[in-house]
Structures are given as structure tokens and as C-alpha cells.
Chain A
Amino acid sequence: AQTVTQSQPEMSVQEAETVTLSCTYDTSESDYYLFWYKQPPSRQMILVIRQEAYKQQNATENRFSVNFQKAAKSFSLKISDSQLGDAAMYFCAYIAGTASKLTFGTGTRLQVTL
């Protein structure tokens, strides 16, 4: 069975600094997708970034980028120039290429301080 592990329950970063959130996963599939979702206090789940396993290039979306290490089954999220609005729960998620079900990690709560 696929599992997603986020080992950092909480992280803190100062405004304008960079922070990296960790995620590891376990799968026997070769074709899959990885996601980072953001959940602010409003509870809305918002997709931050997506990575296709068959792509070697790391995905980037403005201030958000990932470090995808397929052999190590690691998928970390880097947030550059952190802003107060980045404060939220961040969930790592996995879906196999042949499946329809997302598997979520337990989340990392990110605090952004002045």
C-alpha cells in the first residue's frame, strides 16, 4: 500500500526567508504524481504544486519549488521569500498513475513570523 510521511508536524520561518518542508512516500509504482496542497485557516484545500514522476525536472510555481528525488522517494517543498499569507497546513499527496485515489500525509503546520 502507498504511504506518505511528513515528519515535521510544525515548522516556523521568518518573513522573507526560505523554508523547506519534507515529504517521503512509499510505492512500488513507477508511474505516479505528487502534490503539495495548502490549507489555510479558512480550511480551503488549495493545490500549490504538482510533480509528475516521469519528469526529472523539478516543478516550480513562482516562490514554490520542489526537490524531487525519485530514487530516495523524497518530495520536499521549498518556499522562498516567505510571506505571512503562506502560514497554513501543508499536505503532501500521492496518486498512482493508474488510480483515482489521493493518499495524503499528516500535514506540516507552517508559521510565518515577522
Chain B
Amino acid sequence: DAGVIQSPRHEVTEMGQEVTLRCKPISGHDYLFWYRQTMMRGLELLIYFNNNVPIDDSGMPEDRFSAKMPNASFSTLKIQPSEPRDSAVYFCASSWHPTGVRGNEQFFGPGTRLTVL
């Protein structure tokens, strides 16, 4: 398997523009996670899905952020409108059930570095 795939790897956009980040999880994984990494706040969980259904979006910072998982092999994280403070690295990760088979590893994608000017 190719691992978790994210696109684009880098995104530079201007304030106010819409940004869409994409993720393809590892085939067979039924959990998908979106994280944001910044120097100030470290790694934060934004939202996670189980079997394509959003389970916990309490980490989503504001209504400008939305995430979807239309099928088991694709998810998007959208920011509209984007702001400079959204600049960060966004990671997607996937796993088998984290607790069904205990303590399963989350496999991370390479991340998308977002810069909002």
C-alpha cells in the first residue's frame, strides 16, 4: 500500500480564498483523522471519522473549517474563507479501529503545508 496520501504537499493562497486539502487513507482503515500542527499549539486533532461518519469535530476551530468523507477512500478539509492564522501543516492519518484491536497505530500522511498570505 502507498500509505496515506495527501494533496497538495504545499499550498500558498491569499487571505479570503477557499482552500481544499485532500486525503486518501490506507485501504481497509475505518478511521480517518485530520490534525493541524503549528509552532504555537503543536499537534491538534481537528476532526475524525469512523466509517465515513464524523464522530468528533470539537477540534474544528470555527465555522470556516469543514470536513467531509464522501467515501472510504477520500476525505477533504476545506477552509473558506482562509486567514493568515490558518497557516500550518495539516496532517491526515488513518487507522484500523483504535481500540477494537488495542492501541492501533495511526498512520500519518506527509502533510500539507498551508501558507495564507
Q: Which among A43, A97, A98 has the highest number of chain B CB atoms within 10 Å?
A: A43
Is the pair A106, B42 in contact by a Cβ cutoff of 8 Å? Answer: yes
A97 to chain B: which residues have CB within 8 Å? 99, 102-103
Does B42 contact A50, Cβ atoms closer than 8 Å? no
Complex contact B108–A100 (CB within 8 A): no
**Interface hits, A75-114 → B, CB 8 Å:** 91, 95, 97-102, 104-107
On chain A, which size bracket covers the interface? 20 to 34
A contacts with B: majority SS:
loop
How many B residues touch A, CB cutoff 8 Å?
Answer: 22
**B43, A100: Cβ atoms closer than 8 Å:** no
Query: In the complex the two chains form, is B42's CB within 8 Å of A104's CB?
Result: yes
Complexed CA–CA distance, A42 and B111 (Å): 9
Residues in A38-55 with C-beta less than 8 Å from chain B: 42-47, 50, 52
Q: List 23 A-B contacts (CB under 8 A).
A: A33-B102, A35-B103, A43-B89, A43-B111, A43-B113, A44-B110, A45-B91, A45-B108, A46-B108, A47-B105, A50-B103, A95-B99, A97-B99, A99-B98, A99-B99, A100-B31, A100-B48, A101-B45, A101-B56, A102-B45, A104-B43, A105-B42, A106-B42
